[in-house]
Amino acid sequence: MENKRLKAKDFGEEFAWGVSASALQTEGAHNVNGKGPSIWDEFADKNQIKGKQNHYVAANFYHQFREDIALIKEMGIPNFRFSLSWPRILPDGIGRINQDGIDFYHQVIDHCLANGIEPWITLYHWDLPLLLEKKGGWTNREILTWFEEYVEVCIKAFGGKVRHWMVLNEPLVFTGAGYFAGLHAPGKKGIGNFLKAAHHAALCQAIGFRTIKKLQPSAIVGTTFSCTQVTPVDYSPSHVRAAKRMDALLNRFFIEPSLGLGYPINDLPTLKKMNKYILPGDKENLKADFDFIGVQVYTREVVSNSFFTPYLRAKLIPAKKRKVHHTRMEWEVYPNSIYEMIKHFSSYEGVKSVIITENGASFYDEPINGRVHDLERVHYLKSHLDNVHKALEENHKIKGYFVWSLTDNFEWAEGYEQRFGLIYIDYLTQERIIKDSGFWYRDFLK
């Protein structure tokens, strides 16, 4: 097939290529040089992570960032997306600034720029300062003020060096898993917690946008959304309606209010319960004229109607049960999903451009004679890029693609079992090995 020979140049000179990572998943050094505790510190201390693991060392990026940035350069990757740790910069969440934290990120940014790598920074990638969670965290409306202060500190510190900013990482996931299902930090449960947290996060994504633009008008500002193609198990009306409800939750919940369209209440009636948290002026304040939307796609979901599933009346049918090819995370390998999601987000009139800010897969990686032959990941990346190129050829608004992730890292509640990296980490020695997928990406980008 012709598409198997695609190279980066086939996407045009302006297309942004990169690799992504996050602070809590890679940095380690969880309590050194003035860093305050995060909600994940407490979550790990309560043995909520698979295998009673924790992120306290992780991939040791805090001490080995120069080595990792050298590997990005070696792979010829021009853009590096990473996040700032809120409690490393503001240990108490607000007020006192930790200069050691500011200095660390200056070193990372400077080292990127010195090596010809453009930093793309995510302001919030799930590591809320623990002291703010003690006050209610994302369920407390005061977070609008706390978050604005944090953004101001970051832009004043780094805005002179950094052009590309992302406000939030996957708000549906950190509010849903953290405040409804209790599967992620802070481990809260309940529809009330979730809807409050979600509304405040939606307001914060707009507050973050306005704050950055006020302090750095030339900044290129986006935010990122998790998303996935949703397919009914069959086309009987009840399953089709269930898929529509699931799609409203997974793919429309956070983008539509930012475009002034409000929450997708008509297709997900449970969201009417949000009205008690929506104050006068909120609908206008949810709007943000983002320069780009970051889209994070890994799989698709197949959905059936389910009378016994509260609120959604829909349930996901796992890939394993459907006996389809899946990753170690048990997510279906379904490359068409990335094409459908580019199409979906491009279809909104108010969306200027779409960038895939995460796409990747976890497989069973193991070094053999100093090499990691992760051919499944190579095939995964190739097939997804075929679909990105298809969307580009159809003139959808796709402008960039970032692989998740740079290195193997701490995969939240899954601990260290799941490996997504282009670079293998031996967690005992902290040795780095570029996988075959990393070499493939290097050759693709040349």
Q: Cite the active site residues.
A: 170, 358
Backbone angles phi, psi at 286, to 5 degrees: -75, -20
Q: List for the chain the helix, strand, coil content (%; round to 5).
A: 45, 20, 40
- The H or E element spanning position 327 is none
In the beta sheet, which residues pair with residue 83?
122
Count other Cβ atoms within 10 Å, centred on residue 10: 14
Longest CA–CA separation in the chain, Å = 63
Q: Can you tell me whether residue 427 is helix, strand or coil? A: coil
Bridge partners for 294 per DSSP: 224, 355
- Give the 3-state secondary structure of residue 404: strand
91 residue type, one letter: P
DSSP 243-307: HHHHHIIIIITTHHHHTTS---TTT-GGGGGGGGGPPTTHHHHT----SEEEEEEEEEEEEEE-T
Closest by CA to 401, choosing from 16, 4, 6, is: 16
